[in-house]
Amino acid sequence: MIIDNRINFTKAIIDALPIPESGKRDIYHDTKIPGLQLRVTGVKTFFVNRRIKGGDPERITLGRYPEITIEQARRKTMEVLHDIAEGKNPAEIKRGKKAELTFGNLFSEYLERHSKLNKRTWREDESKYKTYLERPLGKKKLSAIDRRDIALIHSGITKDGHDITANRVLALTSSIFGWAKSAGLWEENPAIGIKRNKEKSRDRFIQGDELPRFFQAVAKEENETIRDYVLISLLTGARRSNVLAMRWHDINFERAEWRIEETKNGTPQTITLSPEAIEVLRNRRSSDKAEYVFSGSGKSGHLEEPKKGWKRILESAGIEDLRIHDLRRTLGSWQAKTGASLAIIGKSLNHKNQNTTAIYARLDLDPVRDSVNTATNAMMVAAGLKDSAEIVKLTKQKSLK
């Protein structure tokens, strides 16, 4: 049985309404705002029931009581009736909103259809989303996200002291919406127009007086994978992601070279390996069939996050404000200190610079090798690890089985 009652909706009256037997419902009409109704089953729900454009009656659910108040329900009813008077169908609009993507849905599409296919750093996109975007935006419909939402995220990360990270998260958000437009999934990009933080070019590298403490701390690091990863990062000057994914079959011990098929620049790179780097790799090599030099237990199969180990090393060395990427800059800085030209440094670090690309193409690895070896030798001397040109054994020898 359906009860059709007209009452003045007040909190006291609605709270006192009886709950009907299981499987039944009661419907009440508000006497103050015609069209506003309350359906009572196990819960109490506000809705509007109206015939639209001479068609069948449409039920537009407004929300549950008391999650929305009586006054909110009345305001929503007036908005619905206004839309109907203008020839709109609020029910169709609402159905469209239900089908609309959330930002989390959109990111999943972006990750699978764009980032994984085109970016070697797609895992960094995934990490930024989970760390900074999933909680504030993941469940939001795209139409509910505006520039203010994005700006608050950017300013929040900035206030935490991570200016550059804030810019990278903003760039990712803009990239996601930009891709959505090109894929026909959305029409607006609310990240456009937000002012980015000023970024200063870092010139931090390991100074001569820091090298002894740094190498001592590395030598004391108990995690061999972290220790060797840090050493190879320093001795090759390669990018973080490339060292993490370093594979044995890309290393030629006879030629002392490491071939990277595709770098961040989208180009291949052959890295010359100094005698010290070869020593670290030979000591690390074992008789098993491991694919990666720095194996890990994650999905990728290789080491993914060395931050904790890096923090231990810096604390042990008493060194502050040094990032893993600064190891790359350290090799280049010591190359410059020992007289290498900018072209040689650019070649060894695979810098993509249009002004010097033609020069790089004419360079072979011999002067690059000389420069890297000279810079490595200078670092070892500065660290107090050697007095001459002998090869330094940076790790304990490990016999092959």
DSSP states along 354-380: TTTHHHHHT--HHHHHHHHHHHHHHHH
| Distances, alpha carbon 54 to alpha carbons 36, 58, 92, 261, 289, in Å | 20, 11, 15, 66, 74
Give the model's pLDDT for residue 344: 82
Q: Which fold has domain 4-99?
A: Double Stranded RNA Binding Domain (3.30.160)
Q: How many CB atoms lie within 10 A of CB 5?
A: 11
First to last CA, the chain: 83
Which DSSP string corresponds to 149-162?
HHHHHHHHHHHTT-
Give the model's pLDDT for residue 359: 41
Give the model's pLDDT for residue 34: 87
Rounded CA gap, 124 and 117, in Å?
14
Give the model's pLDDT for residue 56: 63
Question: pTM score, two decimals?
Answer: 0.55
For 293, the 3-state DSSP assignment is: coil
Give the model's pLDDT for residue 23: 79
Give the model's pLDDT for residue 4: 56
Q: Which CATH superfamily is domain 211-382 in?
A: Intergrase catalytic core (1.10.443.10)
Q: Phi first, then psi: what are they for 114, rounded to 5°? A: -130, -60
The b/e string for 87-96 (b: 16+ C-beta within 10 A; e otherwise) is eebbbeeeee
CA-based R_g, the chain, Å: 32
Q: What is the pLDDT of residues 382-400, one digit of tens each?
A: 888 877 656 667 766 554 4
**Which tokens is 199 given?**
């970024």
Residues of the chain with pLDDT below 70 are 1-4, 53-56, 89-99, 201-202, 287-288, 353-364, 388-392, 395-401
C-beta of residue 233 within 8 angstroms of C-beta of residue 330:
no
* Amino acid occupying residue 277: A
Q: What is the pLDDT of residues 148-176, one digit of tens each?
A: 999 999 999 999 988 989 999 999 999 99
